[in-house]
Amino acid sequence: MIQFDAIIMGQVYKLTCQESEEASLKKAVSHLNEKMCAIRDTGKVKGNDRIAVMAGLAIAAQLLSLQKSIAEDSNTLSLPDVKEKISAMQLVLDKALNGDIK
């Protein structure tokens, strides 16, 4: 386990994680800090709690959108699947042209 200081909107937080998780946690801290600072800088949201909630919602919305996009992409056919379907259609067409379909 390692410990490091994370700074979010000027506030220092002591975080502990596995050494293998340090890089991704630091990226998460940076991303959250950027989101929170951007929300604060608009001047529309006051209070760190509200800013944190709005940043959390924005990040959650991004995650859900990404998950939906990945799920939609996984529903598409792979190249081997497409080739198999084309072969099956060719077989049906060949049979039809030869009068083998009843």
Residue 26 lies in domain: 2-97
Crossing angle for the helix pair 48-74 and 22-42, to the nearest 10 degrees = 120
Domain annotation covers residue 35: yes
Q: Residue 102 and residue 65: Cα distance in Å, rounded?
A: 48
**Number of structural domains, the chain?**
1
Domain annotation covers residue 102: no
Task: Answer whether 4's CB lies under 8 Å from 23's CB.
Answer: no
* Neighbouring-strand partners of residue 21: none
Q: Residue 56: what pLDDT?
A: 94
Q: Residue 46 and residue 9: Cα distance in Å, rounded?
A: 13
Instruction: Tell me which residues of the chain have a pLDDT lower than 70.
Output: 74-75, 77, 99-102
Amino acid at 50: R
Is the pTM value of this prediction over 0.75? no
Q: Residue 5: what pLDDT?
A: 96
